[in-house]
Amino acid sequence: MSGKGPKPAEELGYAEALAELEAILEELEDEHVDVDRLSDRVTRARALIARCRDRISDARLKVEDVVADLDA
């Protein structure tokens, strides 16, 4: 990530988004979570979850296309 902040979630691959999401989860589970950052971290987590779901959906569609081609 650059000094400008994190990449937009839409630009991340699945593994990168999942790794960042796991880091956010660890941060939120800490008993000393920074309440001032809480809203920002939850908002970022929501965007990362949406990205992961999109990537899974895309992969599922590609697999279905491959299987359909094999069945044809």
pLDDT in tens, 62-72: 999 999 999 88
Three-state DSSP at 69 gives helix
Question: In whole angstroms, what is the distance from residue 18 CA to residue 15 CA?
Answer: 5
Question: In whole angstroms, what is the distance from residue 9 CA to residue 20 CA?
Answer: 10
| pLDDT computed for residue 3 by the predictor | 62
Mean pLDDT, each 10-residue run in order, the chain (72 residues) = 80 97 94 90 97 97 94 83
| pLDDT computed for residue 33 by the predictor | 86
Do the beta carbons of residue 13 and residue 7 sit within 8 Å? no
pTM of the shown model:
0.83
